[in-house]
Amino acid sequence: MISPAARKELETHRTAQTVLITLRDQIGLSERDIARGTGVHVRSVRRWLHGTAPNHEKAERVDDLRTVVTDLGQVLPPESIVAWLRNRNPLLDRRRPLDVLAEPGGFDLVAVAAEALLTGDYV
């Protein structure tokens, strides 16, 4: 499970920059992981980490990533969350959750796969 401090940072309404710093520093997602999950280039993630706000669509993708990580953090430690996001998932037609998140409508598919893990319907 993720630490109470990380959970608070992710569950409280924060700027995209704060959320991204938490995802990187406390959860262990790399800048490349964040870029994959939001459908942008690593340079954009670096700009966001330095305070440039993402546009509305990308801010929603950051929130989608934050939501999935927070949900998974109920039962998984940070390193397992990162592994789950990076590895192919049978419930996503063997695609990686990070890649699916970047697709239109991808959040709903990843949320269902995460819920299956949380409820014990699939490990």
List the Cα angle 50/100/47 in 5-degree steps: 10
Q: How many domains does the chain have?
A: 1
Residue type, 111: A
What pTM did the predictor assign?
A: 0.88
Query: Phi and psi dihedrals of 89, rounded to 5?
Result: -125, 125
Write the pLDDT tens digit of every residue in 16-62: 999 999 999 999 999 999 999 999 999 999 999 999 999 999 999 99
Write the pLDDT tens digit of every residue in 57-115: 999 999 999 999 999 999 999 999 999 999 999 999 999 999 999 999 999 999 999 99
Instruction: Give residue for tokens 């940072």.
Output: 9
**pLDDT value for 2:** 74
Full residue range of the structural domain in which residue 44 is found: 4-119
What CA dihedral angle connects 64, 28, 35 and 8, to 10 degrees? 30
Tokens of residue 42, six digits: 């690593």
Interatomic CA distance for residues 68 and 89, integer angstroms: 15
Interatomic CA distance for residues 123 and 89, integer angstroms: 10
